[in-house]
Amino acid sequence: MRTLTATFFAGLLALTMGSALAQPKLRQTVNVTGPYVTIGDFYSEAGELAQTPIFRSPDLGTTGNVSALIIAQQAQTAGFVQAGTDGLTTVSVHRLSIPVNEDLISDILRNTFAERAGVEPTEIEISYQAPLPANMHADANAVSPLTIGHVNWSPRNIRFKAILNVMQEGQSKPISIVGSAAQMVSITTLARNLERGAIISANDIRQERKSAARYAGREYLAASDLIGMEVRRKMRTGSTFTPRDVRAPVLIKRNAKVTVLYKIPGMNISTQGKAKSDGGKNDLIEIINPTSKKTILAEVIGKDLAIVSGTNTQIAAFLENR
């Protein structure tokens, strides 16, 4: 009998504690995604009445304060008789959203333009001709908060006009965007003025992003093609380089005295000659024997040094009367 009584009171105590734990409590801060705030948003343990709306939500991305007393009264009117203020004066209600800012707009446009141009999105640079809509938000639970409606743009005509659709309150709201979108390329330019004959170093050049349309059909040199080369003319800061602007450094100057090497198995011959033109490394230049006046082609391999690439007959004629 004692065991039965103890079991009964233990069950009653558990039921009482469970009922106490299950008491509804008003939340001090509420975050919502939809257009209405429900009893379940405000109160824990709202049960079957949790989905019952009692207030409109603030505008997307904004926060509003609501009187705790009015919340309790509205909830009670809706049938949730346990509703109280739980010692609170006001409750903060925030409407969650997805900000439709410049980053989001630029990302969707850049991806669209890149797909049309057949390039990577990072190669597209966008600017806007008019201010973008301010403080615009999309539904927080929207699968596609921002979509492309219509875009008028081509890589040749960099100006664009686009209609984008923003999902708000479950409906699509169009916005108009105008600007320019250009495919950009990395171009090596001159970082400082250089005089004719200067040798280009890494400190003399820099990388700049330029419009690909501006350089279409033009051949320009990359940094790897420039370092160690000699400029053929005076060049200004910001200039780009074409193959005509640079050459290998002049190692042999016209009319300079040149040591000419001729190597064959088991024999090395060297003689002196006179250069008929300037020459950089690996250039083929004409060397004249000052005595015989014979000329031969030689490859420049160093400062005032060249190696012969002709035939034995040519070498013999060159060496004649040396």
Tally of CA atoms within 13 A in the half-sphere of 152 that contains its CB: 7
Name the pTM for this structure.
0.64
Whether the pLDDT of residue 21 is over 70: the answer is no
> What's the rounded mean pLDDT across residues 129-149?
94
Q: What's the distance, CA 120 to chain centroid?
A: 9
CA distance 294 to 286: 10
Q: Confirm if 109 and 181 have CB atoms less than 8 A apart.
A: yes
pLDDT of residue 176: 95
pLDDT of residue 263: 76
pLDDT of residue 44: 94
Give the model's confidence band at 75: pLDDT under 50 very low, under 70 low, under 90 confident, else very high. very high
* 165-189 per-position pLDDT tens digit: 999 999 999 999 999 999 998 899 9
pLDDT of residue 276: 94
Nearest to 298 by CA among 271, 242, 260: 260
CA distance 10 to 211: 81
Per cent of the chain over pLDDT 90 is 67
pLDDT of residue 8: 47
pLDDT of residue 154: 84
Whether the pLDDT of residue 317 is over 80: the answer is no
DSSP 27-74: -SEEEE-SSEEEHHHHBSS-GGGTT-EEEEPPSTT-EEEEEHHHHHHH
